């Protein structure tokens, strides 16, 4: 087994454990506090963290990794002087951001969420201050992820994320009586600090040599800054849309924030695992193959193919068994069957994002690998205006479910525009290749969906424990889909299996 294959395998396993840990954390929090003002305040505060993590982990990485790898391979930048200067400068910037965020939270949190309830506001402000106090470590964790990735070291970053998630859950279990919802925030920042220490240790074990310097070569700085600003803004677009949705949701009723947050989290699991494993690997490969047109096209196609083969049946299956999944994860104590039904309705409207956001990742990464950061930004920034318009038009008339609908419409819009841009460069032949693959994946998915739906209607599952319902229907779906895919699209099936077995 090659080193890269072992790394990919461990990264997948850890990513899965990470998302399961996130579900455990959210399950504990929801069962402890229920859909309430406390949960709404916590969810609002955590939105600021996700924006920062997205900007650094995605925006910074999309620019840093291709430039850094290219200069390393060409022998231009072998001393890591630029990497050191860049890292140290960003740390200084986030020290300033931490101070401003701490003192500014009582002002900008109510400004961004003007419609939140009086009960949720002080909680949201205080937890936001806690997060900004440790913003340097939160940003540093995302930065170190990029530096480790440039050396094909993926596992420590997954463990670091896992520490933050697990300690948030453990603190909620053991300290919620004393600290309330704030225990979750304390656990998260504690885990983040420990994760940074772990990432630093592994980075030092590689050939990277950290030095306390701020110097950056002019040509590196120019190339980096030209691409960085639009990349940072682009990476924040998705989370800005989340902030917009939560702002509108907080103006309906406090429970709606929890319903949407839980449904969004469940539907984000496939993409979160996919983005932190296979997409990371594909991005690294595409960044290394920009000079080889044929290799780049083949890698890109495989990324799109594997995205659809994995994510389309997951989206359909989750729409069919989502009620059982939500019941198993969240239901209990203060989260009742009524809350499950409300969350499941939101999940149905979120389901399309699984497919379109997942495939969008490959499209965006292909553009980033070729240095087309500004193109991605120009497309993605329009999604903010579309999202605002849809929310403003629909939320008062249709309630909180319209916010999930808007998220799906925005993801489809983003996907279509990106397709037009990417395939304009790749050529009509590649586009035909993509559509030929699509219908051969769609048919097995439809067969799977029909059989799972019939099984759900025929089997007497109403009184069964939710985990049993989920396990039986999921097993039926997996077996039917695998058999159907192998029969209808054997080339794609074999390519997926081969990639998992021997990707180098």
Query: What pLDDT, on a 0 to 100 scale, did the predictor assign at position 501?
Result: 60
Query: What pLDDT, on a 0 to 100 scale, did the predictor assign at position 7?
Result: 57
Half-sphere exposure at residue 253, Cβ-oriented, CA atoms within 13 angstroms: 9
Q: How far is residue 482's CA from residue 309's CA, in Å, rounded to a whole number?
A: 10
CB 37 within 8 A of CB 123: yes
pLDDT average, residue stretch 131-144? 88
CB 53 within 8 A of CB 138: yes
**Element housing 468 (H / E):** helix 466-488
Query: What pLDDT, on a 0 to 100 scale, did the predictor assign at position 138?
Result: 87
**Least confidently predicted of 76-85, 158-167, 352-361, 415-424:** 76-85
CB 68 within 8 A of CB 150: yes
DSSP code, position 114: T
Q: How far is residue 379's CA from residue 341's CA, in Å, rounded to a whole number?
A: 35
Question: Residue 445 above 60 pLDDT?
Answer: yes
Question: Residue 503 above 60 pLDDT?
Answer: no
pLDDT average, residue stretch 322-336? 82
504: pLDDT confidence band, cut at 50, 70 and 90?
A: very low
Question: Residue 89 above 70 pLDDT?
Answer: yes
Tens of pLDDT, residues 262-290: 888 888 878 776 665 666 667 666 766 66
Rounded to 5°, the CA angle 146-155-228 comes to 10
**Element housing 214 (H / E):** none
Query: What pLDDT, on a 0 to 100 scale, did the predictor assign at position 384?
Result: 83
pTM (2 d.p.): 0.70
Question: Residue 1 above 50 pLDDT?
Answer: no
Q: What are phi and psi of 215, to 5 degrees?
A: -75, 135
**Whole-number average pLDDT of the chain:** 81
Q: Please give the full DSSP string across 314-382, using - where no structure is assigned.
A: HHHHHHHHHHHHHHHHH-BTTB-HHHHHHHHHHHHHHTHHHHHHHHHHHHHHHHHHTT-HHHHHHHHHH
Q: How far is residue 426's CA from residue 70's CA, in Å, rounded to a whole number?
A: 22
335 DSSP β-pair partners: 332
Q: How far is residue 481's CA from residue 477's CA, in Å, rounded to a whole number?
A: 6
Q: How far is residue 148's CA from residue 145's CA, in Å, rounded to a whole number?
A: 5
> What does the block give as tokens for 346?
């939101």
The residue among 154 and 268 whose pLDDT is bigger is 268
DSSP code, position 280: H
**Element housing 118 (H / E):** none
Question: Residue 67 above 80 pLDDT?
Answer: no
Q: How far is residue 416's CA from residue 30's CA, in Å, rounded to a whole number?
A: 36
CB 109 within 8 A of CB 128: yes
Query: What pLDDT, on a 0 to 100 scale, did the predictor assign at position 409?
Result: 92
Tens of pLDDT, residues 466-500: 888 888 999 999 999 999 998 998 887 787 777 66
CB 182 within 8 A of CB 127: yes
Most confidently predicted of 188-197, 274-283, 330-339, 482-491: 188-197
Tens of pLDDT, residues 198-256: 988 888 887 777 777 888 878 778 777 777 777 776 666 667 777 777 777 766 666 77
Three-state SS letters, 123-188: HHHHHHHHHHHCHHHHHHHHHHHHHHHCCCCCHHHHHHHHHHHHHHHHHHHHHHHHHCCHHHHHHH
Rounded to 5°, the CA angle 485-435-409 comes to 95
332 DSSP β-pair partners: 335
Q: How far is residue 25's CA from residue 20's CA, in Å, rounded to a whole number?
A: 9
149 DSSP β-pair partners: none
pLDDT average, residue stretch 71-86? 71
Most confidently predicted of 20-29, 234-243, 323-332: 323-332
pLDDT average, residue stretch 436-459? 91
Question: Residue 14 above 70 pLDDT?
Answer: no
pLDDT average, residue stretch 134-142? 88
pLDDT average, residue stretch 93-105? 91
Interhelix angle for 466-488 vs 293-330, to 10°?
160
Residues of the chain with pLDDT > 90, as a percent, come to 18
């Amino acid at each position: 087994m090659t080193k890269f294959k072992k790394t990919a395998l461990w990264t997948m396993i850890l990513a899965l454990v990470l998302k399961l840990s996130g579900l455990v954390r959210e399950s504990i929090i929801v069962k402890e506090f229920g859909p309430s003002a406390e949960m709404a305040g916590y969810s609002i505060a955590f939105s600021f963290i996700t924006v920062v993590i997205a900007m650094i982990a995605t925006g910074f990485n999309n620019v840093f990794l291709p430039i850094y790898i290219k200069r390393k391979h060409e022998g231009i930048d072998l001393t890591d002087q630029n990497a050191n200067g860049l890292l140290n400068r960003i740390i200084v910037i986030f020290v300033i951001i931490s101070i401003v965020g701490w003192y500014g939270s009582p002002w900008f949190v109510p400004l961004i969420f003007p419609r939140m309830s009086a009960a949720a506001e002080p909680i949201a402000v205080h937890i936001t201050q806690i997060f900004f106090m440790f913003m340097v470590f939160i940003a540093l964790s995302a930065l170190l992820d990029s530096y480790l990735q440039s050396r094909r070291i993926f596992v420590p970053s997954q463990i670091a994320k896992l520490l933050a998630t697990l300690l948030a859950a453990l603190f909620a279990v053991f300290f919620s009586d004393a600290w309330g919802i704030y225990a979750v925030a304390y656990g998260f920042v504690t885990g983040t600090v420990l994760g940074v220490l772990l990432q630093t240790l592994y980075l030092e074990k590689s050939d990277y040599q950290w030095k306390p310097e701020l110097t950056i070569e002019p040509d590196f700085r120019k190339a980096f800054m030209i691409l960085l600003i639009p990349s940072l803004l682009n990476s924040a677009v998705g989370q800005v849309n989340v902030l917009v949705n939560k702002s509108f949701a907080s103006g309906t009723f406090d429970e709606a924030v929890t319903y949407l947050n839980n449904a969004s989290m469940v539907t984000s699991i496939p993409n979160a695992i996919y983005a932190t494993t296979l997409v990371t690997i594909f991005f690294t490969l595409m960044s290394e193959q920009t000079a080889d047109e044929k290799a780049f096209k083949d890698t890109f196609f495989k990324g799109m193919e594997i995205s659809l083969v994995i994510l389309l049946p997951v989206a359909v299956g989750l729409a069919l068994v989502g009620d059982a999944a939500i019941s198993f994860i969240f239901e209990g104590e203060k989260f009742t069957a009524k809350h499950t039904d409300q969350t499941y309705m939101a999940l149905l409207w979120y389901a399309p994002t699984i497919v379109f956001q997942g495939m969008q990742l490959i499209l965006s990464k292909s553009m980033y690998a070729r240095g087309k950061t500004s193109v991605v930004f120009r497309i993605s920034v329009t999604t903010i205006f579309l999202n605002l318009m849809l929310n403003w038009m629909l939320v008062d008339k249709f309630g909180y479910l319209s916010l999930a609908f808007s998220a799906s419409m925005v993801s489809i819009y983003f996907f279509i525009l990106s397709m037009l841009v990417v395939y304009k460069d790749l050529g009509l032949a590649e586009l035909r290749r993509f559509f030929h693959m699509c219908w051969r994946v769609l048919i097995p998915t439809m067969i799977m969906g029909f059989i799972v739906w019939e099984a759900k209607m025929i089997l007497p599952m109403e009184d069964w424990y939710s985990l049993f319902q989920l396990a039986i229907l999921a097993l039926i779906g997996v077996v039917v889909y695998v058999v159907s895919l192998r029969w209808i699209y054997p080339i794609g099936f074999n390519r997926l299996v081969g990639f998992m077995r021997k990707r180098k």
